Structure 1
Amino acid sequence: MEHISPAKGAPRAQSGAQNNTVPLIIVTILFFMWGLLTSLNDVLIPHLRSIYTLSYVQAMLVQFCFFGAYFVVSMPAGLLIKKIGYQNGVVAGLLVAAAGCALFYPASTNGYALFLLAFFVLASGITILQVAANPYVTELGDPQTASSRLTLTQAFNSLGTTVAPTLGGILILSAGVLTAAEFELLPAAAQLAYRAKEAAAVQGPYLALAAALAVLAVLFALAKLPKISHADDAVAATLDGKQTSIWAHRHLVLGAVAIFLYVGGEVSIGSFLINFLGESNVAGLSAVDAAHFVSYYWGGAMLGRFIGFAVMRYVSPGKTLAVNAACVIALIFAAIFGQGQVAMWSLIAVGLFNSIMFPTIFSMALNKLGAFTGQGSGILCMAIVGGALVPFAQGFLADRIGLQLSFIVPAACYTFILYFGLRFAGMYKEAPATA
């Protein structure tokens, strides 16, 4: 099958395709790290909820601050990367993320508000990484296989999200956490001591992560990577042969909405999964035991991305996206209206079908944007703010109608993703390239 050339003005690696393997390996390490950091939130939310006796809405402020950083920082990050380049942008992102991890140490002795600030700073660093690394991966090879390539690197992001809940459960939840009722039975002095002890459990893991990120920043700064440049950076991209605004590209605009809803739905499920598995009519698991099953949720996404990497070299990304969205909707409804093992495994299985969604939507939305590719990446990363707002909306609903029924919120999100996949199922007129 003949390969389609990148659109005129699109960013492209200055080195030949044969030299792209090493850069992809290096960037893949970054995907692993930010997957690890993001998924640790799923362990910290029930942990902090127990320490500070928070409602579901209050606990979701963690995701509100974390994913809110994407909205605030994405556009400045795009401008920063345009000024200093993709490689230096990644280094800056790693250093900011390291500073955010280091903030967890003073937060452990100064209360919930400083934890929220630490989450925001950490996510700001990850946002810079996202804005730099996602388009970098899509341009290190043929545009026809961009979805497949980004899905492969995202598979290692999922490896990080798979490892994190179990690791966090061991390092942070190993001593167990008290329920709100158990906490209220403690004397005032014992309550203070309990909060201090449990909060301090995050110090060691996050200081180690800060050190690892700083080392990665140094190594990445020293690495020799191909540069991505715009052939016609000063010329606007075109639509139907005419100069146009970036907002005239309908697939980008709808892709941004799809990213908003996808990230919101995925993060909502991950955020509430430990509490969901603790429900007496589902599994009745303790937080530390439930954390292991959160690893299965993210592990399914990792497995699905390796499968998707192969499948989407032959099958339309849009069709694959639509099929997966339909499966997720069915599984969520099984979790809402089911009981016991059916409800439990239905929600965990959502991870498998989530697998290809983010990289597929992202690469489809950036397709043929030309000189607008960098700006488009910034818009898509801003849309990740869905991870702040959708869990907050589900938390609001969970406090009023119950946790199980509140999963109607992510189900609604995936309905739009189904539409997006069907709407652009024929985006690539030729079959995806096989090499």
Structure 2
Amino acid sequence: MQVTNQMGEVHEVPTEKGQGPNYVLPFILITSLFFLWGMAHSLDGILIPHLKKACQLNNRQSTLIDTAIYLAYFLMAIPAGMIIKKIGYKNSIITGLLVFAAGAFLFVPAANSRDYNMFLIGLFIIGCGLTVLETSANPYAAILGPAESSSFRLNLAASFNGLAAAVGPFLGGIFILSGVNHSPEQMAAMPDAERIAYLTGEAAAVKLPYIILGTILVLVAVLFYFMHLPSMKPDHTEVEVKPGFFSVLKYRHLSWAVVAQFFYVGAQVCVTSFFIRIAQKEAGLDEKTAAFYFGIYGALFMIGRFLGTFFLKYVKDYVLLSIYAVLSAILCAVAIYGSGIYVIYALGAIGFFMSIMFPTIFSLGLVGLKSNTETGSSWLVMSIVGGAILPYGMGTLIDMNHDDIQSGYIIPLVCFLVILYFGVFGHKVKKAA
């Protein structure tokens, strides 16, 4: 039996004893969102080397692409939680999709003017839309069924985020990257008209992909508008006093989850932001071939998500997280001290082992929060600001070491050690006195 509330959401009510609601279709719809925001993030790894070339940037400036999109997560996390409470999951999802689309469409005037600041504004708007989507979809997928299988559901949905991580670099390599690179000396020797035409053409390459992406987002928003989603509210058998936004951090496992998520997102963005550049410089690959290997990294990330979802049926989530953190740290060391194509193999393998980290940390952080789930989710989404801060630090370190990209990978190595601590100790549910 379905009861519709004033926000257009549907409460599922069992019609017979022992009969529960069917959440298959809502789960499929929510899973599609994981794919869409995965596409946005997978294209960031293409945009960084591409706009570095088109807008003539250094490494530190190019990482402002990450800063713009992930800073939005930090600034919008609290408002996103308020939006969900005010207008419900369904309307929040539609809002996030439309804001996401607006940022994508802004790439057209940014490319026309080759204005890097306008690109950053578009990415910030995209980040705001993604924040609302993720703040809505992650806890929604977690509570869309039995609590004991929340990690499984989140990893299953996030597997399609991994699919986007595989598809995005391939599409970006085909439609955005030209494969044409000129040294600073060659650029300086070009006549002004030829140089401007080259840079303008490079900037214009982003227009069609982002127009298509924005159009798809609007169509999906229309689909959600006409669909009914169950309004999921966790049942509580006892009276619970709900702490304030900061008081919820008394749950120590949530606090550690926020720290671990900060370093995880920072590590992931660091690895992907400089993947193409390190493939070009250390493995001697051209731009399009480097994008192909970046797609392989995404494919391994996707495979890791699906296999990780399977492994979680037999291995405790915190145990698998700890094992993967150790292996990722070892592979980071290979990327720092290795040479040639083996550096790229190591980074690809990191993609496999990072695959389950975000949803696993997220679900471990929400354990036992009950009516504080939305607040805890906002904190975990805010921690994504690690993707804004740590890559900027990595870019600065690389510039300080005269464009030695390998030296920058010490930052994700440290990140994986922090995640290891969370997997071994920090995840344990314990509320401070």
- Give me the TM-score of the superposition, normalised by structure 2: 0.91
1:17-416 pair list within 5 angstroms: 18-110=21-113, 111-174=115-178, 176-231=180-235, 235-237=240-242, 245-279=247-281, 282-401=282-401, 402-416=404-418
Q: Which moved more, 1:35-44 or 1:183-192?
A: 183-192
* Per-residue CA distance 1:228-285 (angstroms, 9 max, x = gap): 12556994358xxxxx930110011110011110000001100000000011xx3111
Residues of 1 paired with 2:258 and 2:294: CA distance? 27
Contact 1:81 1:89 in 2 (8 A): yes
Deviation for aligned residue 1:191: 1.6
Q: Which moved more, 1:297-306 or 1:223-232?
A: 223-232
Residues of 1 paired with 2:424 and 2:71: CA distance? 29
Residues of 2 paired with 1:361 and 1:179: CA distance? 42
Deviation for aligned residue 1:152: 0.7
Q: 1:418 aligns with which of 398, 420, 423?
A: 420
5+ residue gaps, structure 2: 1-9, 15-19
Identity %: 40
Deviation for aligned residue 1:55: 0.7
Deviation for aligned residue 1:301: 1.4
Q: Which moved more, 1:229-238 or 1:185-194?
A: 229-238
AA partner of residue 248 (structure 2): I
Residues of 2 paired with 1:97 and 1:399: CA distance? 32
* Cα gap change, 1:426 to 1:258, in 2 (>3 Å): closer
Runs of 4+ deviating beyond 6 Å: none
Residues of 2 paired with 1:292 and 1:276: CA distance? 13
* Cα gap change, 1:347 to 1:196, in 2 (>3 Å): same
* Cα gap change, 1:121 to 1:354, in 2 (>3 Å): same
Residues of 1 paired with 2:119 and 2:170: CA distance? 21
Residues of 2 paired with 1:291 and 1:234: CA distance? 54
Residues of 1 paired with 2:384 and 2:195: CA distance? 37
AA partner of residue 312 (structure 1): L
Partner of 2:7: none
Q: Which moved more, 1:223-232 or 1:292-301?
A: 223-232
Contact 1:276 1:403 in 2 (8 A): yes
Residues of 2 paired with 1:381 and 1:358: CA distance? 10
Contact 2:140 2:232 in 1 (8 A): yes
AA partner of residue 250 (structure 1): R
Residues of 2 paired with 1:212 and 1:131: CA distance? 21
Residues of 2 paired with 1:425 and 1:71: CA distance? 22
Q: Give RMSD over aligned pairs.
A: 1.9
SS at match of 1:228: coil
Residues of 1 paired with 2:120 and 2:242: CA distance? 39
Residues of 1 paired with 2:93 and 2:221: CA distance? 8
Contact 1:50 1:179 in 2 (8 A): no
Contact 2:252 2:429 in 1 (8 A): no
Deviation for aligned residue 1:186: 1.3
5+ residue gaps, structure 1: 1-11, 239-243, 429-435
AA partner of residue 236 (structure 1): V
Deviation for aligned residue 1:177: 3.6
Residues of 2 paired with 1:406 and 1:373: CA distance? 36
SS at match of 1:278: helix
Q: Which moved more, 1:31-40 or 1:185-194?
A: 185-194
Partner of 1:431: none
Residues of 1 paired with 2:47 and 2:184: CA distance? 16
SS at match of 1:109: helix
Deviation for aligned residue 1:117: 0.3
SS at match of 2:274: helix
Deviation for aligned residue 1:314: 2.2
SS at match of 1:381: helix
AA partner of residue 395 (structure 2): G
AA partner of residue 241 (structure 2): A
Residues of 2 paired with 1:182 and 1:221: CA distance? 52
